[in-house]
Amino acid sequence: MEHPYLILTSLFGMFGMEEWAAHYSHVTYMWLAMIFLIVFGWLAGKSVSLVPKAGQNVFEVLISGLEEFTVSITGEEGRKSFPLVLTIFLFVLVGNLMGLVPAFFPPTASINTTLAIALIAVLWSHVVGVQRHGIKYIKHFLGPVPAMIPLFLPIEIIGHSARVLSLTFRLFGNMAGHELVVGILLGLGGMFLAPLPVMALGAFVALVQAFVFYLLSTMYIAGAIEEAH
């Protein structure tokens, strides 16, 4: 979907890169999301104190709650993966919410972005599996008995590849669909009132899709950690 105006595209145009920025808007807004998270993380870390204030208490409860939720799914072995899945959750959430800001483009509405995040999540689950089980991790793909390897191995390879496609298209479809609906309402009903209900729903969808991506990534890690049957 083409946007009539994107603020970052205009900024890049000041340096003669408007055509590139317009073609790769998902990249420029992905950079913006990364910068936002880095700066926010730095400020949050800088303000941490032994006597926490209200804001620090809220974030500590949220983060520790998510961490314990992750551990309840993966076990203690999954605790070391929490920083990655939390980062994925925050990046997807910020990327999704960008679609609610006028003149901004949500990077998660591009299949290139969602595919990259999905590959990171799924590949990391296999890294965790190899770290946990070593060469025995291959048993996850071979089935319960050697005679069934020719049947189970192709099925498992297809199944794990489908995880990437599932994560990719679920997030991309929801966010691209939201962008399309808002664009249509803007064209039909005007700049201000028409898209407001959809934008309110979009904020909820942005949170749900970020949580679903985080939850599925956590479950894939849990599956890699558990013993093969």
Across all residues in the chain, what is the average pLDDT? 86
Specify if 2 maps to a domain.
Answer: no
The answer on pLDDT for 34 being more than 80 is yes
Other CB atoms within 10 Å distance of the CB of residue 119? 13
pLDDT in tens, 80-129: 999 999 999 999 999 999 988 878 889 999 999 999 999 999 999 999 99
The DSSP code sequence of 135-158 is GGGGGGGT-SSGGGHHHHHHHHHH
Specify if 1 maps to a domain.
Answer: no
Mean pLDDT over 196-224 rounds to 88
Mean pLDDT over 2-13 rounds to 78
Lowest mean pLDDT among 7-11, 87-91, 146-150, 189-193: 189-193
Tokens standing for residue 107: 């990077």
What is the reported pLDDT for 60?
80
Mean pLDDT over 33-37 rounds to 94
What total of structural domains would you count in the chain?
1
Mean pLDDT over 141-167 rounds to 88
| Angle of the 111-133 helix axis to the 82-97 helix axis, nearest 10 | 170
Range of the domain at 23: 7-225
What is the reported pLDDT for 92?
96
What is the reported pLDDT for 180?
79
Which are the contacts of 161, defined by CB distance < 8 A and separation ≥ 6? none
Specify if 202 maps to a domain.
Answer: yes
Mean pLDDT over 29-53 rounds to 82
Q: Do 106 and 96 form a contact (C-beta atoms < 8 A)?
A: yes
Specify if 124 maps to a domain.
Answer: yes
The answer on pLDDT for 164 being more than 90 is yes
Read off the pTM.
0.88
Other CB atoms within 10 Å distance of the CB of residue 158? 9
Mean pLDDT over 7-31 rounds to 88
- Three-state DSSP state, 47: coil
Q: Which residue has the higher pLDDT, 140 or 219?
A: 219
What is the reported pLDDT for 85?
95
